[in-house]
Structure 1
Amino acid sequence: MIDFTKIPSPCYVMEEELLRRNLQLIRSVSERAGVQIILAFKAFALWRSFPIFREYIRSSTASSVSEARLALEEMGTPAHTYAPAYTDEEFPLFLQYSSHITFNSLSQFERFYPQVEASGKEI
Structure 2
Amino acid sequence: MANKMHKSFLFFVIYALVVTVCTRIVQLIQVEGGYTPCTIIMGSCSTDNCNQMCMNYRASSTLLGSNCNFYNLCTCEFDRPPVGRSCTVPNGLCSDQCGESRCNANCKDRYRNTGTGVCVHDYDLYFYKCVYQQ
TM norm structure 1: 0.28
Q: Hey, which of these two has a bigger chunk of strand by percent?
A: 2
TM-score (norm 2): 0.26
Larger relative contact order (C-alpha < 8 A, sep ≥ 6)? Answer: 2
Instruction: State which structure, 1 or 2, has the greater radius of gyration over its C-alpha atoms.
Output: 2
Bigger proportion of residues as helix: 1
